[in-house]
Copies of this chain bind each other. A is one copy, B any other.
Amino acid sequence: MKRVLVTGANGFVGRHALAPLLERGYEVHAAGLGPRPAFLPPSAQWHDTDLLTPAAREALLEAARPSHLLHFAWYAAHGLFWTSPENLRWVEASLALMRRFREAGGVRLVAAGSCAEYQVQEGACSEEETPCRPSTLYGVCKNAVQEILGAYSRATGLGSAWGRIFFLYGPSEHPDRLVASVIRALLEGRAARCTDGLQVRDFLHVEDVAAAFVALLDSDVTGPVNVASGRAVEVRTVVEAIARQLGRPELVELGALPTRPGEPPTITARTRRLEREVGFEPSLGMEEGLARTIESYRKESGTT
């Protein structure tokens, strides 16, 4: 029986990993801070755990005795996470968790990284070719854990991989992030003030992001793997698709906000590893992914 521990299981991505894990036959132990969330599948076990506390980590591993670990938990306060000293605490906690997981008999783990680990460049980021020279404390800390996990795995025989998340959207996203903020504005009949939207990004629906992590965990692939769609789109294309679906194109104000200084024009991914080695294909295209997201916000706001 494969027993998987999912950290950050009440987070934006983690919550969507639980059902796919159960479908693949894993016994699922979901961990996060607070009481058992309502969305948890009934057959998943819940562990209310502060991962930053050594004793709580030990108790969690003792209770779950996982053979597999899917580690999503990290400091994620919107806007603050880029430079917060909390990133160091999550490096410490992540390394301790991974180390103790292996020492207690764990055999395979996958953790969540970020496109922020890469050096900004024009072309699509490649796991093999693009240098990792992060410009933020967050990116530096994520990449440091990735480097250590890789070397630790080679030294000990632990199986591990590292999913680098690019741009994601979907239900329960932070309301100030792009897709969520545009949908909410248009649903409420307010103007959606945007930048010119000429930035090129790689978007993937959060359910596909989570499913990709589950597929990666269930594979033998090692090292960093981009978790992305492999499709480069201008941000304005996404905004316009939302407006079209909601029938409110007149509320979109592209160019109303300045582009943030230093914002890279392009952040996109090569997805050969995810597609060929892991064998994962996204199930939701942009139109359907946005439709589902809009639907979830309609329900939430009571709009129909």
Q: Which residues of A contact B (CB under 8 A)?
A: 54, 83-85, 87-89, 91-92, 95-96, 98-99, 102-103, 134, 136-137, 140-141, 143-145, 147-148, 150-152, 154-156
Known: A54-B54, A85-B99, A85-B156. A91 touches B151 (CB 8 A): no
Tallying the copies of this chain within the complex gives 2
- Beyond contacts A83-B155, A92-B95: 7 other A-B pairs, Cβ-Cβ < 8 A, are A88-B148, A91-B92, A91-B95, A92-B92, A137-B151, A137-B154, A143-B147
B88 pairs with A152, CB closer than 8 A? yes
| Distance A2 CA – B162 CA, assembled complex (angstroms) | 43
Q: Is the CB of B148 within 8 A of A147?
A: no
CB contacts (< 8 Å) of A151 on chain B: these are: 134, 136-137, 140-141
CA–CA, A103 and B91, complex, Å? 17
A53 to chain B: closest residue by CB: B54
- 18 A-B contact pairs sorted by A residue (CB < 8 Å): A84-B155, A85-B99, A85-B152, A85-B155, A87-B152, A88-B96, A88-B148, A91-B95, A91-B148, A92-B92, A92-B95, A92-B96, A134-B151, A136-B151, A137-B151, A137-B155, A141-B151, A144-B145
Please give me the residue from chain B that is nearest to A86 by CB atom: B99
Q: Closest residue of chain B to A146, judged by CB?
A: B144
Q: How far is the CB of A189 from the nearest CB of chain B, in Å?
A: 40
User: Given the complex of chains A and B, what is the CA–CA distance between A98 and B147 in angstroms?
Assistant: 20
A156 / chain B contacts, CB cutoff of 8 Å: 85
B residues less than 8 Å from A148 (CB atoms): 88, 91, 137, 140-141, 144
* Shortest Cβ gap from A127 to chain B (Å): 15
Nearest Cβ in chain B — how far from A210, in angstroms?
27
Contacts of A140 in B (CB 8 A): 147-148, 150-151
Residue on B with the closest CB to A98?
B88
Chain B's closest residue to A99 (CB) is: B88
